[in-house]
Amino acid sequence: MPFGDCSLHGLRRHITVSISMNADLPALRIVQPTEGDGYMIVVRDLFQGVEALSTSSPNVSPRGCALIAAHTLECALKAFLWHKGKTTRIKKPKGQPKGDHDLVHLWSIAYEEGLPVSQEPPDWVTILSSGHGPNFYFRYQAGKGRTFVHGGATPALIPMTAELKKVIDVVEHAVKD
């Protein structure tokens, strides 16, 4: 017979039980997120857009999905490097007009620092990197020498999204330590 139910000659009564408990809990404290936390917040937020765009109508240009995926990967790799204390390797070097948006370079540094990914970046990373920086073909219509470009090639979106999710999961696991 279940707890709280009684049968008396075919009549059912419901018994309510309440429990009171006193406990000492530690004081709540709000901690300012670190820069590494900030990167992972961006990763989680942007990946939702990547997932939505990767399965959207064929009338939607893949360029937007690739742009968001590239920035998501950049933030994931930088979160890992920040966690490893390699903040100087992810910042814009003084005197250079652009920061390190080179995904192939960030992938290599992350691999060197122990991120369990392949030593050579997969094709989807190389393709994203070519559109993400240094000329930002995914963002702008002007290429080197201000020539017109259409935005560059994009990886196959659904497989790229699945692989990006795997990288994000690996980074999230690594930064929890």
pLDDT digits (tens, 9 = 90+) for 13-52: 667 777 888 888 888 888 888 889 999 999 999 999 999 9
Tell me the average pLDDT of the chain.
Answer: 83
Q: Which of 111, 3, 87, 105 is nearest to 38 (CA)?
A: 87
Distance of alpha carbon 114 from alpha carbon 66, whole angstroms: 26
pLDDT at 137: 75
pLDDT at 80: 96
Amino acid at 89: R
Distance of alpha carbon 107 from alpha carbon 94, whole angstroms: 22
pLDDT digits (tens, 9 = 90+) for 121-153: 999 999 999 888 777 778 776 656 655 555 568
pLDDT at 97: 47
pLDDT at 15: 75
Distance of alpha carbon 155 from alpha carbon 15, whole angstroms: 62
Average pLDDT rounded to a whole number, residues 92-121: 82
Read off the pLDDT band of 175 (50, 70, 90). Answer: very high
Grouping H, G, I as helix, E, B as strand and the rest as coil, residue 23 is coil
| The pair of three-digit structure tokens given for residue 71, joined into one six-digit string | 């920035």
Ordered by where they begin, the domains of the chain are 32-176 (1.20.120)
156 neighbors 54 (Cβ within 8 angstroms): no
